[in-house]
């Protein structure tokens, strides 16, 4: 009896898993050796730019840890650095120079430092814990790196609560809004009190400018000190940890730069108030 022709069944079709694995393997093998072939493969996978190329590169990674033999050391150094930052990062500024106002300025600058440092340490511990959990989720069951990740994640989860302290301040955007709102209120109060008096309006404008300049200086000083302390303790340990894990983007950044932008914006507003105030004085009075 002649063999009956067979029709393709669902089990005869190539699995999507196999097709994807083959293409990612091709990407790993090609690397930078054949840019034209790599670009063609990226196009087939749907990559259309630098970000998409990075995504494919990260998809092509097969090992949960880039340097498993150094991961435990990098984890320990990062946790040690975080402890040092937590203990010392919120201390008063050491070299603040504000003349006879130094004593009054120190606690205000310290509030800015404390908020930036504590919000950063909370962000760091959460980012590390979540990164370990995400990486562990796809680590092969038999991979030795899985044990290291489990231990590191347990340690991080235990420490998380101790680093999530109240920041003692308000978020960056609200800080800028609150400063501008307070200054505006002072300006309105001064303008009302000085209504009908050119000298009074001039005094109110100058007082508003001084308040803006002082707020800007305090925020800028606090942001600079916080950035310096975070850079000293955390930047390189976090960089080392992210390097040993591999293919996980960039370490978390602090908000000192955002506070510096707020300080500069307050200064700019102060300099805008001066000509506007002069125009008001010489046109209305």
pLDDT tens-digit map of 236-281: 999 999 999 999 999 999 999 999 999 999 999 888 888 887 777 6
pLDDT of the residue at 173: 43
Highest mean pLDDT: which of 147-161, 171-185, 200-214?
Answer: 147-161
**Choice between 141 and 10, residue whose per-residue pLDDT is larger:** 141
Q: What is the pTM of this model?
A: 0.78
pLDDT-based confidence at residue 113 (cuts at 50, 70, 90): very high
Task: Give the Cβ contact number of residue 274 at 10 Å.
Answer: 13
**What average pLDDT does this structure show over 150-176?**
76
Highest mean pLDDT: which of 130-139, 194-203, 261-270?
Answer: 130-139
Half-sphere exposure of 71 (CA within 13 A, CB side): 22
pLDDT of the residue at 172: 47
Q: Say yes or no to pLDDT of 6 above 60.
A: no
pLDDT of the residue at 23: 65
- Give burial (CB, 10 Å; 0-12/13-18/19+) of 94: exposed
Percentage of the chain surpassing pLDDT 90?
52
Question: How far, in Å, CA of 112 to CA of 115, rounded?
Answer: 5
pLDDT of the residue at 237: 98
Instruction: Give the lowest-confidence range in 19-33, 112-126, 180-194.
Output: 180-194
Q: Are 114 and 222 in contact (CB under 8 A)?
A: no
**Choice between 144 and 170, residue whose per-residue pLDDT is larger:** 144
Half-sphere exposure of 247 (CA within 13 A, CB side): 17
Average pLDDT of every residue of the chain: 82
Q: Are 204 and 150 in contact (CB under 8 A)?
A: no
**What average pLDDT does this structure show over 58-82?**
94
Please identify which residue in the block is written with the tokens 């130094």. 102
pLDDT-based confidence at residue 199 (cuts at 50, 70, 90): confident
Question: Buried b / exposed e across 31-67, counting CB within 10 Å, b at 16+?
Answer: eeeeeeebeebbeebebeeeeebeebbeebeeebbbe
**What average pLDDT does this structure show over 133-160?**
95
H helix runs in 139-197, sequence order: 145-163, 172-193
Pick from 91, 118, 102, 132: which is nearest to 234 by CA?
A: 118
pLDDT of the residue at 60: 79
Maximum distance among all Cα pairs of the chain, rounded to whole angstroms: 116
**Choice between 211 and 48, residue whose per-residue pLDDT is larger:** 211
Instruction: Give the lowest-confidence range in 23-37, 93-107, 108-122, 202-216.
Output: 23-37
């Amino acid at each position: 009896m002649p063999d009956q022709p067979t029709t393709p069944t669902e089990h005869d079709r190539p699995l999507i898993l196999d097709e994807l694995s083959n293409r990612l393997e091709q990407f790993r093998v090609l690397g930078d050796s054949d840019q034209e072939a790599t670009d063609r493969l990226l196009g087939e996978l749907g990559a259309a730019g630098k970000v998409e190329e990075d995504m494919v590169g990260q998809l092509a990674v097969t090992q949960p840890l880039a340097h498993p033999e150094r991961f435990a050391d990098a984890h320990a150094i990062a946790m040690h650095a975080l402890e040092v930052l937590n203990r010392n990062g919120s201390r008063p500024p050491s070299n603040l120079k504000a003349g006879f106002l130094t004593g009054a300025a120190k606690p205000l600058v310290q509030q800015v430092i404390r908020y930036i440092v504590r919000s950063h340490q909370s962000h760091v511990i959460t980012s590390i814990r979540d990164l370990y959990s995400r990486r562990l989720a796809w680590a092969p069951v038999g991979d030795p790196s899985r044990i290291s990740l489990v231990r590191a994640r347990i340690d991080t989860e235990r420490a998380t609560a101790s680093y999530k302290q109240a920041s003692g301040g308000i978020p960056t955007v609200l800080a800028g809004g609150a400063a501008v709102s307070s200054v505006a209120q002072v300006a309105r109060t001064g303008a009302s009190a000085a209504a009908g008096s050119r000298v009074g309006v001039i005094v109110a404008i100058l007082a508003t400018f001084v308040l803006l300049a002082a707020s800007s200086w305090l925020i800028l000083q606090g942001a600079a000190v916080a950035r310096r302390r975070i850079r000293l303790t955390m930047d390189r340990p976090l960089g080392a940890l992210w390097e040993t894990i591999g293919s996980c983007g960039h370490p978390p950044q602090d908000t000192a730069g955002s506070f510096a932008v707020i300080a500069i914006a307050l200064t700019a507003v102060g300099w805008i108030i001066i000509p506007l105030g002069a125009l008001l004085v010489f046109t209305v009075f």
